[in-house]
Structures are given as C-alpha cells and as structure tokens.
Amino acid sequence: MAAAPIVLIGLSHRTAPIAVRERFSLDEDACRRVLGLLRGGGIREAVVLSTCNRTELYGVGEEGIAVDSIHRAAARILAEDGGSNYEEIEPHVYRMDGLDAVRHLFRVASSLDSLVIGEPQILGQAKEAYRIAIEAGTVGAVLARFFEKAFKVAKEVRTTTGVGTGQVSVGSIAVDLARQVFGDLTKSTVLLLGAGKMAEAVGKTLAAAGARKVVVANRTVEKAMRVAETYGWSGAPLTDLPELMVEADVIIASLASPGYVVDRSLVKAALARRRHRAVFLVDIAVPRVVEPEVGGLEGAYLYNIDDFNQIVEEHLRRRKGDVRLADDIIGREVEGVERYLRALEVQPLIVALGQRAQDLREREVARALKELGEAPPEVRKVVEALAASLTGKLLHDPICALREAAHAGSGDGLADATRRLFRLDGEARPGTPGAGKGRGGEDA
C-alpha cells in the first residue's frame, strides 16, 4: 500500500525530558507562526498540537516530495522556532506517516498516549489546535477527515470504556503526590499558583482530598477569586507571593509564564522565616515556573511532571484492561481509514479511465452526428444519450472491481491490467507522486 499523505513529527514526555519539551511549548501565536512556516516548507496542510507534554506537527506534503524530506523539513522548522538546531532536537523527535500517524492521532485524542491515561483535557486541546489551523487556512480535505474522525473516536472511547473514569489529570497526580508526603491535606496550607483550566482541575482534586486552607494566587486577582470562591478558599495577587510562601506547606504551580515565578532566593527566604519547616513544591507548568535549583535547598522538596513516573505506572496498571478495549476501537477505525486510503490509490486511475471514455464518446458522437447530417435535435439527443448510457454501463463493472480490489489490498495487479487494456500507461501508479489525488471511495 502506498504511504498515506499524512505525516507526523513530534516530541513528548515519552521521548524528551521537560527541559527539552518546555523549549518547544507553543502558545496560540507561536502555533500560527509555525503553521505559516510549514506551508512554506513543502507541506500543503498542517495542524500543530502543543500541550504540557507534547508538541506535534501533523502535515500533508506537497506532491512529488518524499516523506523523509517532509519529516526533515518539519523537524528543522520546529527546531529553529525553538531556538535550537536540527541535530540537537533530532534524538528526541519521533516520525510517523500513513496509518501509523493516523493511529497515533486517534490514540492522542483518546488520551491513550497521555502522561495520565484518560485525562480529559487533551481532546479539548486537539480541537483547539484544529480550530487554530482552520483559521490559519492550513486544513484541507485530508487533515479535516482525519481530525474529525479522531474526535469521534475519542468520544466513543470515553463513553464505552472506563479509560476516563475517576479524577484523571496531571493535576490529580500532583495532589496524589502531596497526599503521599503529608497524608492528610486537611491540616496543610496549600498555595495554588494559577487560575487557568489546569488550576481549576487541581482545585477540584484538592477539594475532593479535603484540603480546607487553600490560597489561589494569580496575576489577575479576579480570576484567582473565581477559582477560590468555588470552594470557599481565598484568592490573592502574585505580588503577595513572598508572604504567601511563608505560610504554605504545599505549593502547586500551574501558571503560564515565560520565566521562573518562584526562584531559589524567594524559597530560601521563605524557608528562613518558616524556621526551616519543609515546603513541598510541585511544578506542573510547561514551561516550568519554579527554578530547578530550588530542589537543592535544604527543606525544599521540588517535583515536576517528569517525577510522576511511579504514580503514573500504577495508574496505567489499573487501567490496562480499558486501554486494551480502547485500542480495539481505534484498530477498527484505522481499518476503515485503510480502506479509504486504498480507494484513494486507484482514484487517479478511475478518473483517467473516465476521461478516456469521455474523449472516445465525444469523438464518436461527433462522427455519428456528422454522418446524420441535418438531424433534428431530438435525434441528436437520442444519440448523445445512447453513447453516454453505453459508456457508463461499460465502465461500471471495471470501476467497481478496481475499488473492491483496492479495499481488499489486492488492487495493484488489476490496476496494471486496466492500464494496459485501456492504454493508460502514463497514469500514476499507487505509491508514485500524484497517486493520492482525487476524492472518492469508502468513508473512513
């Protein structure tokens, strides 16, 4: 089977440490910028998905460009946008194409490839990435089909399996980690940095864990108050951070910031005023907002997303059966995509066959009408209708046979025979540039 037109390059928590991932975390403006670069790099369709734990570029290459060349071009664009070079990023990048890329997209949207299996945020993030690409004009028929299908698959996985049951998110893992250290969060003072969607998820988990004394701090104090008041907590501006940290036993950071908000000197000063009572910090922001050197201070215990492995593995063990069910659903849908792609392989040949028949029909109709001389209009219509009917009926069975053979994965021999029989030797063969042109065949 010919390679599908869709290609993927990316890096994630599976291939790159947070120190690498945070450099390639893209906000909406950066995604639009990269989409523009991809369109100029041999890719005619593109979607950029960037979350806390992954940055992925999905694309459809221009005709005549090898898949390897498309992968390299996309990786270089990602590297350069992150202020790096291809050689530095290359060990952390994975590349896929065709059905492998489609399967990966379905698993990502269904949260099977997430750090925390079943977390609900990824589907919304994928939809947002798709929306941005549509607005940027980089989504065409191929990516539209696959992304829309991915959203339907994700919904089926969530409604028919137990993958997403319970509280499953990076935020819930952060709270679980804090509970392992303190046991009972009802007696601890918690400082939650940030008031976005991730912070809201953390807040929900903290409330379920019984945390009572929680302060939500954010640049915009109104947003902090909105999150805090849901649970009867208090809100504060980030400018109060030096005082807030003196009281905090647990600090969970999920703040969007271009630099460190909590640095070593700030924590050192807070520890001194706390008389060196230990403070537990969990930085779930990407890029990180707690300076890594904080972890070297006596009495400061700093964790980030890459430190969640033990809890994540236990979480995955509990959901192994549901993951298998979800993968079965995805496998079935990928088979449908495969049938669609196989139909695309013979579509250029079917178009060429129809064009050849049309050319012959028009030539023979013109010759017959010339011999009839001044035939009345109704006679001319009968001749034209007869020719069109004969042509359609003659082509119907060969076209159906081509599509059926393509769906079965055995279309190459019949396609070659069709080219020879109808003298279509110049038409593109499956796997050659141009073989993916056209629409038609079974829906994926």
**Which residues lie across from 45 on neighbouring strands?**
60
Q: Give the closest residue to 186 by CA, choosing from 225, 212, 217.
A: 212
- Radius of gyration for the chain, computed over Cα atoms and rounded to the nearest angstrom: 29
Q: How far apart are CA 28 and CA 113, in angstroms?
A: 22
Q: Give the closest residue to 436 by CA, choosing from 39, 145, 127.
A: 145
What is the DSSP annotation of 104-156? Answer: HHHHHHTTSSSSSTT-SHHHHHHHHHHHHHHHHT---HHHHHHHHHHHHHHHH
- For residue 442, give the DSSP letter: S
Torsions phi, psi for 51 (to 5 deg): -130, -170
Residue 52 appears among annotated catalytic residues = yes
Catalytic residue (choose from 18, 52, 102, 193): 52
Q: How far apart are CA 435 and CA 351, in angstroms?
A: 11
Cα distances from 328 to residues 151, 338, 425, in angstroms, run 16, 15, 41
Residue type, 287: P
- Residues forming the active site: 52
